[in-house]
Amino acid sequence: MDDILKIGKYTLGSRLIVGSGKYDSFEMTKEATVASGSELITVAVRRLNITDPDKENLRDTFVGTNVKFLPNSAGCVTATEAITTFRLTREATGIDLIKLEVIGDTKKTLYPDVLETIEACKILAKDGFTIMAYTSDDPIMAKRLEDAGAHAIMPLAAPIGSGLGIQNPYNIAFVKDAVDLPIIVDAGIGCASDAAYAMELGADGVLTNTAIAQAANPSTHG
């Protein structure tokens, strides 16, 4: 039981969370996810279909697995957009475990707008969502997200998709010390050693997409 990761009312047997972007097909997404051992896959609901049963639906591909879905608000640039996205997604799917991200710089860094994220978090928490909040590696903002109702904090390690690894290890440790919530290191994990380093710094888990999806053989991560 010591290996169980608890996020709000949810429990996971794996400390690895994976993304669903950059794959050639839904089937390849499933094969790579199952091979990774992850029990949670995040999906940009503005880009990949998990809500419309009349079209090719990623959730259908995962039927028979133990993988849960984590809708995210990638592409949203305001709190209002993120709130609306998640309300509609929950209505269509019943899923209330979410990855909240509001992007401030959509052209270069994809860095989060943390102030908008906090505002969205307050409202979504009142709506009963279990919130995993993508944010900068700032311990002050991490604490404010905890106070706003987040259930897990997801500080970036490096810019999304960069694979640069953990650029500010002290900040990750500071975030861990600042809040009494699970810390999932998100964005920039490029290889297995980056993930191991994150755990050594005290992280409770990691999220990675590009490092797996862009591998020569994603289902074997090689």
Please list the active-site residues: 99
What number of other Cβ atoms are within 10 A of residue 62's Cβ? 20
- CA-based max dimension of the chain: 47
Burial degree of 92 (CB within 10 A; 0-12, 13-18, 19+)? middle
Which of 128, 70, 122, 119 lies closest to 95 in space, CA to CA? 70
What number of other Cβ atoms are within 10 A of residue 175's Cβ? 28
> CA geometry: angle at 103 spanning 93 and 182, to 5°?
65
Give 140's Cβ-side CA count (13 Å radius).
2
Which of 67, 101, 71, 102 lies closest to 86 in space, CA to CA? 71
